[in-house]
A and B are shown apart, each in its own frame.
Chain A
Amino acid sequence: MSKLLSLSDAVERYVPDHVRMLAVGGMHLHNNPMALVREIVRQQRTIGRLLTSPCGALNADLLIGAGLVDEIATSYVGFEHLGLAPCFRRAVEAGSIRVLECDEAYITHGLYAGAGGLAFIPLPAGLEVSDIPKVNQVSYATTTDPFTGREVLVGAPLCPDVALLHAYQADERGNAVLAGAHFVDRLMALASRTVLLQVEQVVPTEEIARHPVGTTIPGFLVQAVVEVAGGCHPTASHGAYDYDEQQLGLYLSMARSAEGVGEYLERHVTGVTEEEYLEKASPRLAELRYGEGPSPVPSSGRSG
């Protein structure tokens, strides 16, 4: 059964008007599922809790700037060497968003717990000394280690209702190849009830089946596949194109004020279709296409 859908159909069908917990994949300026994120903004889905990978970027900041996020669970939202995240920063400083302050260990292990049906997951000793668990008692607690009798920091499982993820390729059944780094996208797919995938290209199942161990998300976890070449822009898509500092710079300068981000959204998101957006971005995407680099896809399959 084909899971191929248009961008608008995928969001309309699988993302409720208010999502209790939405996970966005990608990390820093890479593999952000921006086409899906932009469509969430166009369809004005509200988000009870937004979960990022250990390092969120535009995927989180744009949703916050659009006023759609009540609460964010994250260990970082920023633009790395390009600067702080303007909408996240403004919302937190104004007290208009709740923060579940997390660290990288909890996000990773919490997704693992969510994927495995674990009631909670113990965290390594020493993590309790930071102030993170002190300000987030939704995600962290302490209990007694039944084996040693010592106090141990534990984390609640992370079970997103919907995950928005980007993959390099998938077949129409949702078997997906994550090119380059996987970040925690695979864990997000394993832990989430509904997975929406945007991909650079849909390929025949026979092609995917040439490198089964390189297929990092099995199709049975995926509800919808949207083919949207260039859909990570202005972030990078590993194996396809680099991040666009011009567009990110434009966003960062406009998003310095609430009015500015509103104008950005109108010009680049809500006021345009995804096709129009990508049409405009296409000269930049051509320039940003990776030259000779690491092989994005396992080059050979099983021998014999």
Chain B
Amino acid sequence: MARGQAPFPARDGAGERAVTVAPEPSELAWSRSELMAVELAAHLRDDDVAVMGTASALPQAACRLAQLTHAPGLWYIAGGTCSVNPHLAPVVPSCCDFDLLRADTAIPLADVVLLEGRGDVLTVFFAGGLQIDAYGNCNLVAVGEWSRPSLRGPGTVGLPFLSRVGRVLIYTMSHTRRTFVERVDFLSGPGFLGGPAEWASAGLSGGGPALVVTPLCTMGFDPGSLRMRLVTVHPGVDIDEVRDATGFDLLVEDPVPVTAAPTPAQLSILRDLDSDGLLKGV
């Protein structure tokens, strides 16, 4: 079918930043996006029902990869079209794409909103933000004062539901001090709120954020302080590079392992799905 160039994410000269782990054979070269898809996939379980929203090519690919490897029983819903288990032939950049309806089934958007509210059906919610803070709170609304923001974001869509879902998996292509801040300016997607005391008193049904995957590293949350901690650094990335790109005091416990590189089998599946190469750019 006709389709314009739609790299994910849109970045100039992105192809040059692909990381090569071995010069030969060339198929072993993988991109950061592919590594991130593999990291997200590894966290998904066979009994999960996952949901994702806007600009979710990466988590969609991760879910399909998980289905085709260790989690064949996984269900996933591409919010927007609300297709259930889209076949991703190929991966597409828009969550409302007609092509996503090549799927096992599709349900109305209003049904997905009902189930997000019901809270005990969906077990994984993918999230992100213009700002993501030390407690995993996300902000897609406004940087600065809400009434006169210095940067107006697009809006929060379904992120307020993060308070009700099992595990929140956060992903972003931007690991910078502007994205990773001590506290979000506007709370549009709840993480662990202001920390243990506030989190405990809120009595929310969701389990809170579980994982944060960026082009530099994979992070989790310290069970005591509920603050973000470094889990692994991606191959070729320094711990100091991660610290410098993070606008809060990131918990780091030595030694920090290196994220496992995608296997040839994982890459082969991803590339079969991603025939337009949306994940190959960065």
Contact = CB atoms under 8 A, between A and B. Distances in A.
A146 to B, nearest CB: 19
Nearest to A187: B110
Interface stretch (A36-44, A80-88, A274-282): A80-88
A289 B98 CA distance: 12
Nearest to A183: B109
Interface in B58-87: 80-83
Nearest to A89: B152
Interface string A45-67: 00000000011000000000000
**Most chain A CB inside 10 Å of its own CB: which residue of B82, B109, B189, B190:** B109
Given A181-B81, A245-B5, A290 B160 contact: no
Interface in B150-209: 150-161, 163-164, 186-190, 193, 202, 204-206
Contact of B54 (A80, A83, A93, A243): A80
B187 A77 contact: no
Contacts of B95: 28, 80
A85 B154 CA distance: 7
Given A55-B80, A81-B55, A108 B113 contact: yes
Contacts of A132: 141, 156, 160, 188
Contacts of A186: 108
B10 to A, nearest CB: 6
Contact of B1 (A126, A131, A291): A291
Nearest to B140: A76
A95 interface: yes
Contacts of B159: 103, 130
A74 interface: yes
A202 to B, nearest CB: 21
A102 B102 CA distance: 31
Contact of B94 (A80, A108, A187, A291): A80
Interface residues of B, number: 66
Nearest to A133: B160
Interface string A6-38: 000000000000000000000111100000000
B109 A294 contact: no
B97 interface: yes
B98 A242 contact: yes
A104 B157 contact: yes
Interface residues of A, number: 63
A238 B82 CA distance: 14
B99 interface: yes
A238 B150 CA distance: 36
Contact of A180 (B9, B81, B161, B189): B81
A93 B94 contact: no
A182 interface: yes
Nearest to A74: B155
Nearest to A31: B96
B101 A95 contact: no
Interface string A168-203: 000000000000111110110000000000000000
A204 interface: no
Query: How would you classify the secondary structure of chain B's contact residues: helix, strand, loop or mixed?
Result: loop
Contacts of A80: 54-55, 93-95
Nearest to B116: A105
Contacts of A163: none
A108 B110 contact: yes
B164 A245 contact: no
B82 A130 contact: no
A131 B188 contact: yes
B205 A245 contact: no
A29 B81 CA distance: 12
A129 B150 contact: no
Contacts of A103: 156-161, 188
Contact of B206 (A126, A242, A244, A291): A126
A242 B2 contact: yes
Nearest to A85: B154
Contacts of B1: 242, 290-293
A93 B148 CA distance: 5
A77 B96 contact: no
A78 interface: yes
A109 interface: yes
A215 interface: no
B156 A127 contact: no
Interface of A: 27-30, 54-55, 74-78, 80-85, 88-89, 92-93, 95, 101-105, 108-109, 112, 123-127, 129-132, 135, 180-184, 186-187, 236, 238-239, 242-246, 287-294
18 contacts: A55-B80, A78-B155, A80-B93, A80-B95, A92-B149, A103-B157, A103-B188, A105-B113, A105-B116, A108-B110, A127-B160, A130-B156, A131-B141, A131-B187, A135-B147, A181-B81, A242-B2, A289-B2
Given A54-B157, A85-B154, 20 more contacts: A27-B80, A29-B94, A75-B155, A80-B94, A81-B57, A81-B93, A93-B149, A112-B110, A123-B117, A126-B119, A126-B163, A127-B164, A129-B160, A130-B163, A130-B189, A132-B160, A187-B110, A289-B2, A293-B99, A294-B99
